[in-house]
Each structure stands twice: as C-alpha cells, then as structure tokens.
Chains A and B, each alone.
Chain A
C-alpha cells in the first residue's frame, strides 16, 4: 500500500522559497509506473492543483504558478520535492503530496487516490 508523508518548514517569510519533501513508502519514486503530484488548500478554502510529475521527469504545472514552482524527485531517498519561490501570504496553505491509483497510465493529469496527511505552511512576516 502506497503511503505518502510530507515534511518541511511550517513558517516562512514573504519572498522566501518554500521547500517541501514527500517521503514515499510502499513503492519506488523512480518507477515509470508511478505518477506524483502536489495539491494545496488555503485554510478554510478549496483545493488547488500545483503540478505533477510522471515518466521519470516529465512535469506539468498550474499555469498560475508555473514561473515559481519546481517538482523533482530524489530516487536515493525515495522522495518527491516541491519548491515554490517568492512566497507571499497567498501561498499559506496545507500542502498535500498525491498519487493516482497504481494502474493509472494515461496522463500526467490524474485523479488522486493516495494522499499524504498534509503539512501546513504559513507565510508571515
């Protein structure tokens, strides 16, 4: 059973870079069979897709965040990472690591069967 666990700093100042990692267990981060992504949810608000990665490096990003976001993998640690530069208060949210069902092979856009527990990031001066 695939399990995902996010980690990273919970408090950032405006203009800093958000860096989160997602540790994967129950599967290999570098397998071509797997797809990965990040979703965020501002407190009390809805869900927003940040981006996804598949086929060992192909990435798609939300156009509204494209210039600031990078998703990558570290196979040696079996981790997915998210970097978001120049953060503002609008980036305050719970950030989730996600993955589709393990039989999904259709697209880098997918439905999310597996979710981490989420990590809250607050941007405040």
Chain B
C-alpha cells in the first residue's frame, strides 16, 4: 500500500494569503497519478487537480499542483473565503489511497 502523508495537519491563514500543502508518498507514484480534492463540511469532495498538475474542469487558476515521484504540492495562490476547507491528496497508480487531509482554517 502506498501511504500518503499530508502536512501540515492544519494551516491557519488569512484571506488573500498563499497556501502551500504537502503530500508525501511512501513509494514513487507512477505517471504522477496523483489528485487533490477539496471538501467543505457536509459536502462530497470536489476534484481540483489530477495527474499532479492538471486542473479539473471549472477549477479556478489560483489552484495549482506540482511535484513528481514521492513529493507533491498543492498551492492556492490567494485564498478566497470559500477556500477554507479540508484538502486531500490521492494516488491512483496502484490501489487508490488518500492522505489524511490538511485543514485550511481562517486565522
């Protein structure tokens, strides 16, 4: 099983600030098949990024993904009020696994 570890657990930021979320895999993720999701409480997750750096349909360009191998990053360039949520990474090169999540909270 490819274990994904996200850091930090919680990120305290203000609207307009930059958010940098990390996802580290215990094994290299083949073809960079790594995705990022946003989940607002009470809602289903929403796909933001796939293949490490491709934005999903309708996702604003303030969201960007990067990385390869075992280290991946989700960056939100300027936080909007609706961006305060929990973010999960997921690898799908082998039986899918998810990170434990990073919560972005208002400072």
**Is A46 in contact with B99, judged by CB distance below 8 angstroms?**
yes
**Is A118 in contact with B44, judged by CB distance below 8 angstroms?**
yes
- Return the contact of B96 from the options A96, A109, A116, A117 (Cβ within 8 A): A109
- Count of CB-CB pairs between chains A and B under 8 Å: 54
Q: Which of B14-22, B66-74, B76-84, B86-94 contacts A (4 or more CB under 8 A)?
A: B86-94
A24-76, CB < 8 A from B: 46-49, 60, 62-63
**Is A111 in contact with B99, judged by CB distance below 8 angstroms?**
no
**Is B33 in contact with A111, judged by CB distance below 8 angstroms?**
yes
Interchain CA distance A28-B55 in the complex, whole Å = 26
**Is A116 in contact with B44, judged by CB distance below 8 angstroms?**
yes
With A46-B100, A111-B90, A113-B56 in contact, do A60 and B45 touch (Cβ < 8 Å)?
A: no
One digit per residue, 1 when the CB lies within 8 angstroms of any chain A CB and 0 when it does not, for chain B 30-65 equals: 000101010000001111001000001100000000
- Return the contact of B47 from the options A48, A49, A62, A111 (Cβ within 8 A): A111
**Is A47 in contact with B45, judged by CB distance below 8 angstroms?**
yes
Among residues of A, the one whose C-beta sits closest to the C-beta of B56 is A113
**Is B92 in contact with A46, judged by CB distance below 8 angstroms?**
no
Interchain CA distance A14-B4 in the complex, whole Å = 31
| Chain A hits for B50, CB < 8 A | 101, 111, 113
**Is A115 in contact with B44, judged by CB distance below 8 angstroms?**
yes
| Chain B hits for A60, CB < 8 A | 95
Among residues of A, the one whose C-beta sits closest to the C-beta of B92 is A109
**Is A47 in contact with B90, judged by CB distance below 8 angstroms?**
yes
Q: How far is the CB of A110 from chain B (nearest CB, A)?
A: 5
One digit per residue, 1 when the CB lies within 8 angstroms of any chain B CB and 0 when it does not, for chain A 84-125 equals: 000000000000100001000001011111011110000000
Q: How far is the CB of A46 from chain B (nearest CB, A)?
A: 5
| Chain B hits for A112, CB < 8 A | 35, 37, 45, 47, 90
With A47-B88, A111-B33, A111-B50 in contact, do A117 and B97 touch (Cβ < 8 Å)?
A: no
